[in-house]
């Protein structure tokens, strides 16, 4: 569905088909954009790729702001494995200053750190889960089968608007619940941070 299709579907479900409209087209498009980002954040249904240029002597690099998670990393044909800092501390004393060809990585907020510190230039190729770009006229990036489900979050936001003609707490909650059934519950930021850090312990032989 393209943007116009979704706006029309929103107006039909919201019973907002006659001018003067309760919500402008720009408002609805904004709600739909927020709905797609929320759906992706909850369900991680958008994948992407990212190439990071490693330089000698630099271990930490900024990820793209739309990157939610790194699921795979490679230098050339060699896989660079994910590791937790706790495992590095346990099995690799002095890892912070070790140099060589990167074998592992971990995430620190919106940064990725490779271990050991590179001694040569290289390209770190990442497979990622990411947020969508701003919604285009052609519609959402996510698969078409999910498009109509985005309306639930858009309607949740619309009926949460603090205006005498639009605010309806019961409708807002109902659409929020429908959206959660489609894309799962919201995971708090602090829990997401801990999830990013959690990985199985690496045995000594991997170092």
Note the pLDDT of residue 206.
63
Residue 41 has pLDDT above 50, yes or no: yes
For range 7-15, the mean pLDDT: 98
Note the pLDDT of residue 203.
47
Q: d(Cα 121, Cα 199) in Å, to the nearest integer?
A: 27
Note the pLDDT of residue 201.
46
Q: d(Cα 182, Cα 149) in Å, to the nearest integer?
A: 7
pLDDT band at 131 (very low <50, low <70, confident <90, very high): very high
For range 112-127, the mean pLDDT: 98
| pTM of the complete model | 0.86
Q: What is the dihedral of CA 77, 83, 89, 95, to 10 degrees?
A: 30
Q: Tell me the per-residue pLDDT of 152-188, one tens digit each, with 9 for 90 and over.
A: 999 999 999 999 999 999 999 999 999 999 999 998 7
Q: How many CB atoms lie within 10 A of CB 30?
A: 15
Note the pLDDT of residue 197.
60
For range 58-85, the mean pLDDT: 97
Q: d(Cα 9, Cα 151) in Å, to the nearest integer?
A: 8
Query: What value does the mean pLDDT of the chain take?
Result: 93
């Amino acid at each position: 569905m393209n943007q116009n299709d979704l706006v029309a579907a929103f107006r039909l479900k919201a019973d907002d088909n006659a001018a003067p409209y309760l919500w402008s087209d720009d408002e609805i498009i904004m709600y739909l954009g927020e709905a797609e980002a929320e759906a992706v954040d909850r369900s991680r249904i958008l994948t992407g790729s990212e190439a990071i240029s490693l330089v000698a002597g630099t271990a930490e690099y900024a990820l793209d702001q739309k990157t939610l998670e790194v699921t795979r990393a490679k230098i050339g044909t060699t896989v660079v494995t994910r590791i937790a800092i706790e495992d590095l501390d346990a099995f690799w004393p002095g890892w912070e200053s070790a140099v060589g060809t990167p074998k592992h990585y971990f995430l620190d907020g919106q940064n990725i750190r490779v271990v050991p510190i590179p001694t040569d230039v290289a390209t770190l190729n990442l497979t990622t889960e990411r947020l969508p770009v701003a919604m285009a006229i052609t519609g959402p990036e996510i698969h078409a089968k999910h498009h109509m489900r985005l309306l639930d979050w858009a309607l949740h936001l619309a009926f949460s608007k603090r205006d005498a003609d639009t605010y309806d707490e019961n409708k807002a909650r109902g659409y929020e619940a429908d959206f959660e059934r489609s894309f799962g519950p919201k995971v708090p930021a602090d829990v997401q941070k801990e999830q990013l850090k959690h990985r199985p312990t690496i045995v000594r032989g991997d170092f």
